[in-house]
């Protein structure tokens, strides 16, 4: 194949977070081939414009489908997505491919509190209001403290931080967000405390960015040099589990695969009731190269334990 000529156009959401991620990819592409010109086509997706419950308009996949369509129609050459935003119950369009998974960022969730309270969950008063629209986070927080008032909160990370800062009756006392997001926007100092992955198991694909292109585009050869094999293996295991469970944006599912010091893949999956009162867990290990089989096994084990009922009736 012949390498893609300049310019290379990256399709991305227009939010500050998405632009920071796209700029990171542009920097890495140019580092591989300084002769390339890399530009952006930012878009506001349907999901960005909707501040209600995403499940009522088609789920988190609306963050990615519009850009994928632009990629398939040759309006852009590259798409950059947060892996956790890609639907788990749908296959990637046949004409597209995941050319590279960038090295994974911090997968942990963090608590951000107002100055009125201490940094940890235990420092919050009884019936404290915590802002998050993630059913995964909601279930696990309520599993730790049943008194918490989990309040829906959507919008960009900046918008959520602004809501927290307001001294209004409906403002949350704390919010829970991704450490990776704070890192990408260079505002890690806003984190009050970190949850361990045992306390709050991460979302499938947490901390990972994927770079997609068309299968027939020679650019894939260059993009493949950005791939981090360990991250790819871990994410493939998590997403295979999610696909087996047919999980979607409103499913109370968590999954985290990590590479152990001896090089094995270790995958933990959990499914919850929305109130956190019930949870089931499965975990297994496999050799590198067996990521998809590992994910399928953990997904099947969760289904055998009753995951379908919790997913369909959270």
Contacts of 308 (CB under 8 A, 6+ apart): none
DSSP string of 235-283?
A: HHHHHHHHHHHT--TTS-EEEEEEE-TTS-EEEEEEEE-TTSS-EEEEE
Indicate which residue of 48, 68, 77, 85 is catalytic: 85
Alpha carbons 263 and 147: distance in angstroms, whole number: 41
Burial bucket for residue 118 (CB in 10 Å: 0-12, 13-18, 19+): exposed
Here the tokens at position 80 are: 């950059």
Question: Known catalytic residue: 216?
Answer: no
CA-angle at 53, arms to 51 and 54, nearest 5°: 90
Q: With beta carbons less than 8 A apart as the criterion, state whether 259 and 233 touch.
A: yes
Number of neighbouring beta carbons within 10 Å of residue 152? 12
Catalytic residue set: 85
């Amino acid at each position: 194949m012949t390498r893609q000529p300049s310019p290379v156009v990256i399709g991305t959401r227009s939010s500050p977070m998405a632009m920071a991620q796209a700029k990171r990819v542009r920097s890495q592409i140019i580092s591989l081939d300084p002769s390339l010109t890399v530009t952006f086509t930012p878009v506001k997706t349907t999901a960005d414009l909707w501040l209600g419950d995403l499940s009522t308009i088609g789920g988190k996949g609306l963050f990615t489908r519009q850009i994928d369509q632009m990629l398939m129609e040759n309006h852009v050459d590259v798409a950059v997505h947060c892996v956790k935003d890609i639907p788990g119950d749908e296959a990637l369009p046949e004409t597209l491919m995941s050319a590279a998974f960038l090295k994974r960022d911090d997968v942990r969730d963090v608590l951000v509190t107002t100055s009125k309270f201490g940094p940890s969950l235990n420092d919050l008063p009884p019936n404290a209001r915590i802002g998050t629209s993630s059913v995964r986070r909601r279930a696990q927080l309520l599993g730790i403290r049943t008194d918490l008032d989990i309040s829906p909160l959507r919008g960009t990370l900046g918008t959520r931080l602004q809501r927290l800062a307001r001294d209004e009756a409906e403002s949350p006392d704390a919010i829970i967000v991704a450490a990776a997001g704070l890192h990408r926007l260079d505002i890690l100092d806003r984190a009050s405390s970190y949850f361990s992955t045992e306390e709050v198991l991460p979302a499938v694909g947490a901390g990972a960015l994927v770079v997609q292109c068309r299968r027939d585009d020679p650019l894939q050869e260059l993009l493949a040099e950005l791939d981090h094999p360990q991250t790819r293996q871990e994410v493939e295991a998590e997403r295979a589990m999610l696909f087996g469970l047919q999980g979607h944006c409103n499913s109370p599912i968590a999954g985290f695969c990590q590479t152990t010091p001896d090089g094995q893949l270790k995958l933990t999956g959990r499914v919850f009731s929305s109130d956190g009162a019930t949870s089931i867990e499965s975990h297994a290990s496999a050799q590198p190269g067996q990521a998809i089989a590992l994910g399928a096994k953990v997904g099947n084990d969760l289904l055998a334990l009753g995951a379908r009922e919790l997913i369909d009736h959270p």
